[in-house]
Amino acid sequence: MKVKGFNHLTLNISSLDQSIHFYENILGCKLVHKGRMDCYLEWGEAWICLQERVELSPLSHQLGVDHIAFFIEEDEFHKAVQKLRVSQVPIVRGPLKRGGGWTINFLDPDGIQFELHTATLQKRMADWT
């Protein structure tokens, strides 16, 4: 499996407007897309998706990181999927084409969700509209 690096971070948050202010003005992220309940911010070569989840409370431990994604070249993707399957890694979603590329979500031994994704933020935004 030849992972090329970090792709994006998706966070469950309680207030989209409050979080956009923080990520733009404090962290210096660039807002690329704002939806009704989510937004995408560019941060260097990586990107962050914020998902407003007002039904979750901070005490539920469901606010915070949703999953951690890594970029992988498309020609390596299906080999990586096979390795996950052979290793009996729990697969949460996929493999499927989504967001401009191939994606698969899986769990580490502690239940932390990871994703391998073949698209860039620019490709996702081109397919988003």
**What CATH number is attached to the domain comprising 26?**
3.10.180.10
Q: Which of 53-57, 89-93, 118-122 has the highest mean pLDDT?
A: 89-93
User: Within 13 Å and on the Cβ side, how many CA atoms surround 26?
Assistant: 6
Phi/psi region, residue 102 (left: phi>0; alpha: psi -120 to 50; beta: rest), is: beta
The boundaries of the domain holding residue 54 are 5-128
117/93 Cα distance (integer angstroms): 12
| pLDDT reported for residue 14 | 86
pLDDT tens for each residue of 70-87: 899 999 999 999 999 999
| pLDDT reported for residue 40 | 97
| pLDDT reported for residue 68 | 86
- Which of 125, 127, 126 shows the shortest CA–CA distance to 47? 125
| pLDDT reported for residue 58 | 66
Mean pLDDT of 46-68: 81
Q: How many domains does the chain have?
A: 1
Q: Which two tokens stand for residue 88?
A: 């009996």
Query: Are the C-beta atoms of residues 56 and 66 closer than 8 Å to each other?
Result: no
- Which of 110, 107, 98, 29 shows the shortest CA–CA distance to 68? 107
Band the pLDDT of 60: cuts 50, 70, 90: low
Strand 64-71 to 5-13 pairing: antiparallel
Catalytic residues: 115
**What 8-state DSSP symbol labels residue 63?**
S
Mean pLDDT of the chain: 88
126/99 Cα distance (integer angstroms): 9
The percentage of the chain sitting over the pLDDT mark of 90, rounded to a whole number, equals 50
Q: At 85, is the secondary structure helix, strand, or coil?
A: helix
Band the pLDDT of 49: cuts 50, 70, 90: very high
